[in-house]
Structure 1
């Protein structure tokens, strides 16, 4: 099981989530239909589901997840996984109150800085729904380039039961 280290930037701090974070994660992120609109999972029905996700899914296997904190307050999630031994894929979400302030760009940059020294990683990528301009902006600001549009690639159950088009961003790290 991965044990992500704490990462700190000028404004945000990333740390592994613990079960006691479930209530704030549920209220600010996991239950918010706007926050989860462009994610691959539906809003949680209750805090019990958020607790289960923290214990059963976060930091299990090849997946690493951090809470994003601002001044000690939980404001988002940021994670990475290795779909292939040489590649890292990023994902993230931010509570609405903090949208548009550059905080997720800072958090994603911290995860990228943490990946760069790993000699086994050659590529970092992320994708977002074609209508998620905020997420596309985060990826561009973090140095990932738009590599293309993948037709009917991503499942976004809060939009449709059918696969949706996504924008693929990526960069080589060595």
Structure 2
């Protein structure tokens, strides 16, 4: 099960069915949707409910963790997901409402998830993508220590065609790998 995480300004908590409308609003924003390949357009609250059900099934197996990102007023302003894609390797995905960009909230939320993953999972590596045209996601990943590993084209459901993405990777040091001198 996805645990609740508290950062200085945010609460990261498991997605609930009541989040369907907020999730649909987030993922329908053109600025957000263009960086997410697997999200159909339009993305309805019914799509969001189905997504939450699928996440719950994966969470029960310990393979996926998805958080709603709440600000101090209790508003859902984003979503972060971490899914194991192969043993020891996870894929990170995230989206934040555009009106909250540039305030350090994305970095704060992602740092909370990465810190938790390092302490509580067997992941040793995390991958993430950023659309080449996305001016905020690339620097965010780089500030978090992700290293550029290449370029790929991914099919976008929202754009009905391929889009260029940059691929990134972050090495984690899990507690099992730490050695006491």
TM-score for the superposition, normalised by structure 1: 0.87
Per-residue deviation at 1:119?
Answer: 6.4
Q: Distance in 1 between matches of 2:113 and 2:18?
A: 23
Aligned residues: 167
Q: Contact between 1:130 and 1:167, CA under 8 Å: does it hold in 2? A: yes
Structure 2: runs of 5 or more not aligned = 174-181
Q: Distance in 1 between matches of 2:88 and 2:44?
A: 37
Per-residue deviation at 1:53?
Answer: 1.8
Q: Contact between 1:83 and 1:89, CA under 8 Å: does it hold in 2? A: yes
Q: Secondary structure at the match of 1:58?
A: helix
Please identify, of 113-122 and 137-146, the stretch whose mean Cα deviation from structure 2 is larger.
Answer: 113-122
Per-residue deviation at 1:121?
Answer: 1.8
Q: Contact between 2:85 and 2:91, CA under 8 Å: does it hold in 1? A: yes
What is the alpha-carbon root mean square deviation over aligned residues? 1.7
Q: Distance in 2 between matches of 1:19 and 1:119?
A: 25
Deviations 1:124-158 (A, max 9, x none): 111111111211122112111222223x2x22222
Written as runs of structure 1 = structure 2, the 5 A alignment for 1:1-174 is 3-27=1-25, 29-40=26-37, 41-55=39-53, 57-61=54-58, 62-71=63-72, 72-118=74-120, 120-150=122-152, 152=153, 154-162=154-162, 164-174=163-173
Structure 1: runs of 5 or more not aligned = none
Evaluate the alpha carbon distance shift between residue 54 and residue 10 of structure 1 in structure 2; reply closer, same or farther with a 3 A threshold. Answer: same
Q: Contact between 2:24 and 2:43, CA under 8 Å: does it hold in 1? A: no
Q: Distance in 1 between matches of 2:48 and 2:120?
A: 31
Answer 1 or 2: which has greater helix percent: 2
Q: Contact between 1:38 and 1:158, CA under 8 Å: does it hold in 2? A: no
